[in-house]
Structure 1
Amino acid sequence: MTTSFSTVLAEKKLIDQMKAGDPVAFGKIYDHYSQAIYGKLLKFVKISAVADEMLQDVFLKVWENRHTLDSNYSLKPWLYRVTENEIYKFYRKVALDVKLQTHILQTFDELYTHTEEDYYLKESRKLLQDAMTDMPPRCREVFELCRLQGKSYEEAALQLDISISTVSNHLVRATAIVRKTLFQSTDMAMIVVTAYMVYR
């Protein structure tokens, strides 16, 4: 059952109690937010077992970082940022883990036929192009060289006549833009393909 916070002061009190190490307060916060967080996770990853595991990871981070929380502010925005980070980490893991890719494809086998492969490849390229359109010119150049052409930071820096640290900074910004674009899609198959195109 979801716990309701009748006032902002009620949440503030629970956060303060949790910061002091009170597991009961933590449990009440979990009860209040877990259903919404789980729904967000499941919307993106589509696999209940994966969403369950990620939900536990999100709230483990709440407990581990409880001392840094400010009870003067609502916990919800911070929780949703942590949740989005977990989703993004999952996409990257899928892109880099062949076994996980196989598992995801098997999971979607009943939903998507092989005849749709070209569609997802085409749409994923469009999703990536949309993200690149939002990037500043130099940022886009660095992203294309390092992520799409597979060049090293050193090679990109030499080609663009910029420092390696500048290349790194541009990639951080470009990755944030791609991440934002990915979150606009709720189709896991398309997200997996797009993530693979970026991080393969």
Structure 2
Amino acid sequence: MCIVVINRLHVDALSNEQLWDALKQDDQGAFAELYQRLHATLYSYGYKVAANATLVEDAIQDLFVDVWRMRHSSSSANSVKFYLFRSLRRKLHLLSEKEHWSETPSAQVDITSVDNSAEQLMIGQEQESQLIQRLTYALAQLPQRQQEVVTLRFYQNFKTSEIAQIMGITEKSVRNTLQKALLNLREQAPYLAPLLGLLLFWLLA
């Protein structure tokens, strides 16, 4: 079997899917790069599902252990990010049941973990810092399920069909949850009404 060894000088140019194919051929460098590249994103999402830092870290570690252990039997992934998000959500629920940890109410969500760069793309440049702070706070007040759907759709750019698969719900439920989330945000943050109105129109179009 030919083992692909990634040149560290070119690793940044490789896609997640190329790294996945390399780790399937026993490339530890590709595995390490994939872990470093996606850990923060997985943690941010995982904390939306179960706001327990220890639980999220344990789930991520277990997930990557499984990835390496089952590398030879796993199939090629069309979207590594989608595969890992869906697997992490399942892992979190399994660990939650095993350890008898309950999910923290949405009001206690760590709002500092929100990806500000995604918010910047959504709200534009005018009074950016203040609007980001207000939007982040408003998002943290949403019910947990709505937070998760908003994160997957607008922060991680997953399609409705992919969100439905990740969360194990129907596409209709995803759209309804997104609609409720945007309506709640518009009520909580009237100063963001123009933006949220455009998002709602785009969502329902």
Category of TM-score, reference length = shorter chain? 0.3 to 0.5
Q: TM-score, normalised by structure 1?
A: 0.42
Q: Which has the higher contact order (CA 8 A, sep 6+)?
A: 1
Q: Which has the higher helix share?
A: 1
Structure number, greater radius of gyration: 1
Q: TM-score, normalised by structure 2?
A: 0.41
